Protein backbone atom coordinates (compact mmCIF):
# COMPACT_ATOMS: atom_id res chain seq x y z
CA UNK A 1 0.00 0.00 0.00
CA UNK A 2 2.81 2.45 0.79
CA UNK A 3 3.97 1.98 -2.81
CA UNK A 4 1.46 4.49 -4.13
CA UNK A 5 2.61 7.13 -1.66
CA UNK A 6 6.38 6.57 -1.56
CA UNK A 7 7.56 5.08 -4.88
CA UNK A 8 7.89 7.10 -8.07
CA UNK A 9 5.10 6.15 -10.51
CA UNK A 10 7.59 5.95 -13.38
CA UNK A 11 9.77 3.34 -11.62
CA UNK A 12 11.10 0.87 -14.20
CA UNK A 13 13.96 -1.06 -12.58
CA UNK A 14 13.55 -3.35 -9.56
CA UNK A 15 16.09 -5.01 -7.29
CA UNK A 16 15.00 -8.16 -5.46
CA UNK A 17 17.14 -9.38 -2.59
CA UNK A 18 16.13 -12.88 -1.42
CA UNK A 19 14.40 -14.90 -4.12
CA UNK A 20 11.85 -16.85 -2.09
CA UNK A 21 8.06 -16.59 -1.98
CA UNK A 22 8.10 -12.94 -0.92
CA UNK A 23 10.55 -12.08 -3.65
CA UNK A 24 8.20 -13.62 -6.18
CA UNK A 25 4.88 -12.22 -4.97
CA UNK A 26 6.31 -8.74 -4.46
CA UNK A 27 7.64 -8.65 -8.02
CA UNK A 28 4.27 -9.80 -9.37
CA UNK A 29 2.56 -6.96 -7.48
CA UNK A 30 5.11 -4.41 -8.69
CA UNK A 31 4.70 -5.54 -12.29
CA UNK A 32 0.95 -4.90 -11.99
CA UNK A 33 1.47 -1.35 -10.66
CA UNK A 34 4.57 0.01 -12.39
CA UNK A 35 6.06 -0.04 -15.91
CA UNK A 36 8.77 -2.51 -14.88
CA UNK A 37 11.17 -3.38 -17.68
CA UNK A 38 14.22 -4.82 -15.87
CA UNK A 39 14.89 -6.70 -12.62
CA UNK A 40 18.11 -7.54 -10.80
CA UNK A 41 17.80 -10.51 -8.46
CA UNK A 42 20.18 -11.50 -5.67
CA UNK A 43 20.11 -14.52 -3.36
CA UNK A 44 22.86 -16.03 -1.24
CA UNK A 45 22.26 -19.34 -3.07
CA UNK A 46 23.31 -18.96 -6.73
CA UNK A 47 21.04 -21.74 -7.97
CA UNK A 48 18.03 -20.11 -6.32
CA UNK A 49 18.59 -16.74 -7.95
CA UNK A 50 19.20 -18.36 -11.32
CA UNK A 51 15.95 -20.32 -11.09
CA UNK A 52 14.15 -17.16 -9.98
CA UNK A 53 15.50 -15.21 -12.93
CA UNK A 54 14.44 -17.87 -15.43
CA UNK A 55 10.98 -18.48 -13.97
CA UNK A 56 10.04 -14.85 -13.33
CA UNK A 57 11.30 -13.75 -16.75
CA UNK A 58 9.05 -16.34 -18.37
CA UNK A 59 6.08 -15.58 -16.13
CA UNK A 60 6.10 -11.79 -16.41
CA UNK A 61 7.80 -11.20 -19.75
CA UNK A 62 10.35 -8.95 -18.05
CA UNK A 63 14.14 -9.09 -18.25
CA UNK A 64 15.27 -10.62 -14.93
CA UNK A 65 19.00 -10.97 -14.32
CA UNK A 66 20.65 -12.80 -11.43
CA UNK A 67 23.53 -10.87 -9.84
CA UNK A 68 26.41 -12.00 -7.64
CA UNK A 69 26.46 -9.16 -5.09
CA UNK A 70 23.77 -7.31 -3.12
CA UNK A 71 25.14 -4.00 -4.42
CA UNK A 72 24.45 -5.01 -8.00
CA UNK A 73 20.74 -5.47 -7.21
CA UNK A 74 20.48 -1.98 -5.71
CA UNK A 75 22.53 0.70 -7.41
CA UNK A 76 20.58 0.90 -10.69
CA UNK A 77 17.15 0.14 -9.22
CA UNK A 78 14.22 2.49 -8.70
CA UNK A 79 12.55 0.05 -6.28
CA UNK A 80 14.42 -2.37 -3.99
CA UNK A 81 12.64 -5.18 -2.15
CA UNK A 82 14.46 -7.04 0.64
CA UNK A 83 12.85 -10.17 2.03
CA UNK A 84 15.53 -12.15 3.85
CA UNK A 85 15.21 -13.68 7.32
CA UNK A 86 13.90 -11.36 10.05
CA UNK A 87 16.61 -11.06 12.71
CA UNK A 88 16.98 -9.18 15.98
CA UNK A 89 20.70 -8.84 15.43
CA UNK A 90 21.24 -8.75 11.67
CA UNK A 91 24.43 -8.23 9.70
CA UNK A 92 22.93 -5.97 7.04
CA UNK A 93 24.48 -5.79 3.60
CA UNK A 94 23.03 -2.64 2.02
CA UNK A 95 25.30 0.35 2.53
CA UNK A 96 24.73 4.10 2.49
CA UNK A 97 24.81 5.54 -1.01
CA UNK A 98 23.69 2.37 -2.77
CA UNK A 99 20.02 3.33 -3.08
CA UNK A 100 19.97 5.99 -5.77
CA UNK A 101 18.31 9.39 -5.24
CA UNK A 102 14.62 8.91 -5.97
CA UNK A 103 14.78 5.24 -5.01
CA UNK A 104 12.23 3.41 -2.88
CA UNK A 105 13.05 0.54 -0.53
CA UNK A 106 10.49 -2.02 0.61
CA UNK A 107 11.86 -3.81 3.67
CA UNK A 108 9.75 -6.95 4.04
CA UNK A 109 12.41 -8.31 6.42
CA UNK A 110 12.26 -5.48 9.00
CA UNK A 111 15.75 -3.90 8.95
CA UNK A 112 17.71 -7.08 8.32
CA UNK A 113 19.20 -5.99 4.97
CA UNK A 114 19.63 -2.23 5.58
CA UNK A 115 22.63 -0.82 7.42
CA UNK A 116 21.88 2.00 9.91
CA UNK A 117 23.78 4.51 7.74
CA UNK A 118 21.66 3.54 4.72
CA UNK A 119 18.44 4.08 6.66
CA UNK A 120 19.74 7.39 8.00
CA UNK A 121 19.94 8.62 4.39
CA UNK A 122 16.21 8.13 3.86
CA UNK A 123 14.16 11.28 3.40
CA UNK A 124 11.02 9.45 4.49
CA UNK A 125 10.51 6.18 6.37
CA UNK A 126 7.04 4.73 6.75
CA UNK A 127 5.72 1.65 8.51
CA UNK A 128 2.38 -0.13 8.78
CA UNK A 129 1.56 1.06 12.28
CA UNK A 130 3.51 3.15 14.81
CA UNK A 131 2.33 1.15 17.83
CA UNK A 132 3.31 -2.14 16.22
CA UNK A 133 6.73 -0.72 15.35
CA UNK A 134 7.23 0.39 18.96
CA UNK A 135 6.23 -3.06 20.18
CA UNK A 136 8.82 -4.78 18.00
CA UNK A 137 11.47 -2.31 19.08
CA UNK A 138 10.59 -3.10 22.70
CA UNK A 139 11.22 -6.82 22.19
CA UNK A 140 14.61 -6.29 20.56
CA UNK A 141 14.15 -5.44 16.90
CA UNK A 142 14.94 -2.10 15.20
CA UNK A 143 17.65 -1.13 17.67
CA UNK A 144 19.43 1.06 15.10
CA UNK A 145 16.49 2.08 12.94
CA UNK A 146 15.25 5.71 12.90
CA UNK A 147 11.69 6.36 14.04
CA UNK A 148 9.33 6.23 11.04
CA UNK A 149 8.01 9.55 9.76
CA UNK A 150 4.57 8.09 9.07
CA UNK A 151 2.45 5.01 9.17
CA UNK A 152 0.08 3.63 6.56
CA UNK A 153 -3.05 5.11 8.14
CA UNK A 154 -1.53 8.58 8.21
CA UNK A 155 -0.56 8.37 4.55
CA UNK A 156 -3.93 7.09 3.36
CA UNK A 157 -5.87 9.62 5.45
CA UNK A 158 -3.70 12.49 4.20
CA UNK A 159 -2.55 13.33 7.72
CA UNK A 160 1.08 13.16 6.66
CA UNK A 161 2.62 13.50 3.20
CA UNK A 162 4.45 10.70 1.42
CA UNK A 163 7.06 11.38 -1.23
CA UNK A 164 7.69 15.11 -1.60
CA UNK A 165 9.91 15.11 -4.69
CA UNK A 166 11.46 12.90 -7.39
CA UNK A 167 14.92 12.82 -5.76
CA UNK A 168 13.84 11.68 -2.29
CA UNK A 169 14.94 8.32 -0.97
CA UNK A 170 12.01 6.57 0.72
CA UNK A 171 11.64 3.35 2.70
CA UNK A 172 8.65 1.30 3.82
CA UNK A 173 9.18 -1.07 6.74
CA UNK A 174 6.50 -3.70 6.28
CA UNK A 175 5.52 -5.39 9.54
CA UNK A 176 2.31 -7.03 8.36
CA UNK A 177 -1.15 -6.10 9.59
CA UNK A 178 -3.90 -8.60 10.41
CA UNK A 179 -6.31 -6.00 9.01
CA UNK A 180 -4.94 -6.78 5.54
CA UNK A 181 -5.67 -10.48 6.05
CA UNK A 182 -9.19 -9.75 7.28
CA UNK A 183 -9.87 -7.61 4.21
CA UNK A 184 -8.67 -10.28 1.78
CA UNK A 185 -10.03 -13.40 3.53
CA UNK A 186 -13.73 -12.90 2.64
CA UNK A 187 -12.87 -12.55 -1.03
CA UNK A 188 -10.70 -15.69 -0.96
CA UNK A 189 -13.55 -17.56 0.73
CA UNK A 190 -16.12 -16.28 -1.78
CA UNK A 191 -14.03 -17.36 -4.76
CA UNK A 192 -13.35 -20.77 -3.21
CA UNK A 193 -17.09 -21.33 -2.69
CA UNK A 194 -17.84 -20.30 -6.27
CA UNK A 195 -15.28 -22.77 -7.62
CA UNK A 196 -16.10 -25.58 -5.19
CA UNK A 197 -12.54 -25.84 -3.91
CA UNK A 198 -10.95 -25.86 -0.48
CA UNK A 199 -11.34 -27.91 2.69
CA UNK A 200 -13.58 -27.03 5.63
CA UNK A 201 -11.73 -27.39 8.94
CA UNK A 202 -13.31 -28.20 12.28
CA UNK A 203 -12.18 -25.63 14.82
| Total tally of structural domains belonging to the chain | 1
Q: Is residue 189 part of a domain?
A: no
At residue 2, the pLDDT reads: 61
**For residue 77, which of 159, 8, 139 has the smallest C-alpha distance?**
8
pLDDT attached to residue 103: 98
Domain-located, residue 201: no
pLDDT in tens, 90-113: 999 999 999 999 999 999 999 999
Asked whether residue 119 is assigned to any structural domain, the reply reads: yes
* Residue 187, domain member (yes or no): no
The per-residue pLDDT for range 130-154, each reduced to its tens digit, is 999 999 999 999 999 999 999 999 9
Asked if the model's pLDDT at residue 69 lies above 70, the reply is yes
How open is the CA angle 159-163-164, to the nearest 5 degrees? 90
* pLDDT given at position 182: 82
Contact 172, 2 (CB under 8 A): yes
C-beta separation of 149 from 125 below 8 A: yes
Question: Average pLDDT of the chain?
Answer: 94
Confidence of residue 177 (pLDDT cuts 50, 70, 90): confident
Return d(Cα 14, Cα 100) in angstroms, integer. Answer: 12
Kindly calculate the radius of gyration of the chain based on its CA atoms and give it in whole angstroms. 17
Query: Lowest-pLDDT range, 2-6, 115-119, 189-193?
Result: 2-6
Query: Which CATH number characterizes residue 101's domain?
Result: 3.40.50.720
Q: pLDDT value at position 178?
A: 76
Q: Is residue 184 part of a domain?
A: no
Domain that holds residue 159: 3-177
DSSP string, 129-162: -HHHHHHHHHTT--TTPPPPSEEHHHHHTTSS--
> 197 lies in a domain?
no
Identify the CA nearest to 42 among candidates 73, 12, 21, 20: 73
| Residue 186 belongs to some domain of the structure | no
Query: Whose CA is closest to 111, among 97, 125, 92?
Result: 92
Give dist(CA 19, CA 50) in Å, integer. 9
pLDDT tens, position by position, 21-61: 999 999 999 999 999 999 999 999 999 999 999 999 999 99
Amino acid sequence: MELGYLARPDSEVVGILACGVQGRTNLEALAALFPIRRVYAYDIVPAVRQRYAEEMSAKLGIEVTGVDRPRDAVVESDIVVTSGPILKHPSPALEAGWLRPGGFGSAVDFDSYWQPAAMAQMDHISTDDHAQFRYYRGVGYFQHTPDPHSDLGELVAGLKPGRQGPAERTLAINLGLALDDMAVAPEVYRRARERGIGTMLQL
